[in-house]
Amino acid sequence: MSASLNAAVAPAVAPAVAPAVAPAACGPACDPACAEPLAVLGRDVTVPLVTGGEVTYAALDYAASAPALQRVWDDVAAYAPYYGSVHRGAGYLSQLSTDLFEQSRAAVAAFLDCRPSDQVVFTRSTTDSLNLLAAALPAGCRVFVFETEHHASLLPWDDAQVTYLNAPRTPGEAVATLERALADRAPHGPALVCVTGASNVTGELWPVQELAAAAHAHGARIVLDAAQLAPHHPVSVRELDVDWVAFSGHKLYAPFGSGVLAGRADWLQQAQPYLAGGGASRRVTRRVSGEGAGGVEVEWHTTAARHEAGSPNVIGVYAIASACRALTEAGFDALVARERHLIEKVRGGLSDVPQVRILSLFGDDAPRVGVISFVVDGWNSSHFAAALSAEYGIGVRDGLFCAHPLVRTLLGSAPQEPGECGAPEAAPGELPRTSSGGTPTLNAIRVSFGAGTPDEHVDRFVRAVRELVTEGAKWQYRTEEGRCVPAV
């Protein structure tokens, strides 16, 4: 903010520069088991159990949407009275909001360690960011994407020639598969590789730096889907040497419907605006002569504004910037160490239950974030997830997680088998499919956690899995509108 604006608004937005809640009271070198989670909204919410009573809700679905950091909520609340439409406004609140909006852009660029020439474009989500990039591809661009991607990375490329790469079983195989595909492409021309940083199904980290090197060695560019990586690990555009990175605020503890596409400006500057309208246009004039007389001529912005038409979501953008600052101040070394402690608890607890099979592409020793998917012998996954919620107050996710090809590969099912994100493939009690032998189950259970997860939540989850497997559900369930719900 300018000095005058900063002085005037300081009482309201002071939380924006306040220290984040420290993840560890004993320092980064201590046992991560003693670390405290970051403060998030909903940490004291209680929910009813079908068996009677209430329990504090265990939110273990961070991979879908992480709870908002208390710090983010406080920052947004402090700014809210000063809320105004950004850009071009003469009024004080508009000027202040514009300054805050652009400061937020700078904060995101710093969080991602962007190059000086990179642009930070604010979008609605990771999906929106990748669709924006797809719309900006130069003519004749070839796209290379692994079948293991989330649908947000898998589906936007219809207007390009797409090569879908088979699921690799090691990081080295991923690099080798990409290198072969790029070497075989003909004729040469613009090419883009799209890859995740961390799987939304297995949590496994992908060899992004090595894939970027392979792409660049063959004259291709690369975009990183960091939706699952950025909330758990530092993301440096420069160190990873990626051309673009996309992520969502709602997975980064800032659930206000905003996302980011950051990276090289040239393809974005040369493309038609993602949306045509105010904000994207620098100048619009009537065409008075020649072909098309009576129409309009438009000069579009060449900055990030080119792809931010309309009134932007300043609240959502500020929330992302607040979350970026909070995670940076908390320190990713400590956050990663604490999350590794939780991962070991969950994986160790699940491994002690013989009926549970954890899904993995790269094997048990692969580095990963706090996202773990599994199936349970003798259980429909939707039934199991419903019982975790209704009987233990634990929120997880079941289904194919908007990564259908990957989950089917991990489960060994045919690519054409039916299935929907989150929908059970059979009614509770009908068990024509199991996770070992016979026809494989068509969906899985996913538990995910992060910087705001206390140990008690993962301990309760492990205990609940063990009890459900050994003792069975205490309640009856039925299928209603495609979902498994407690029978009443």
Residues acting as catalytic residues: 402
pLDDT of residue 34: 63
HSE, CB side, 13 Å, CA atoms: give it for residue 38: 33
pLDDT of residue 428: 42
Write the CB contacts of 143 (distance below 8 Å, at least 6 apart in sequence).
Answer: 137, 157, 160, 161, 162, 163, 191, 192, 193, 194
**Which phi and psi angles does 180 have, rounded to 5°?**
-65, -45
In what helix (H) or strand (E) does residue 122 lie, and over which residues does it extend? Answer: strand 119-123
Q: Could you list the pLDDT tens digit for every one of the 488 residues in the chain?
A: 433 334 444 434 444 333 344 454 444 456 766 679 999 999 999 999 999 999 999 999 999 999 999 999 999 999 999 999 898 788 999 999 999 999 999 999 999 999 999 999 999 999 999 999 999 999 999 999 999 999 999 999 988 999 999 999 999 999 999 999 999 987 789 999 999 999 999 999 999 999 999 999 999 999 999 999 999 999 999 999 999 999 999 999 998 889 999 999 999 999 999 888 888 887 988 887 777 677 888 888 888 888 887 888 999 999 999 999 999 999 999 999 999 999 999 999 999 999 999 999 999 999 999 999 999 999 999 999 999 999 999 999 999 999 999 999 999 865 555 444 444 444 443 343 443 444 445 789 999 999 999 999 999 999 999 999 999 999 999 998 888 999 98
Rounded-to-integer distance, Cα 362 and Cα 368, Å: 10
Q: Are 243 and 263 in contact (CB under 8 A)?
A: yes
Tokens of 388: 């975790």
**Model-level pTM?**
0.89
Q: Are 230 and 241 in contact (CB under 8 A)?
A: no
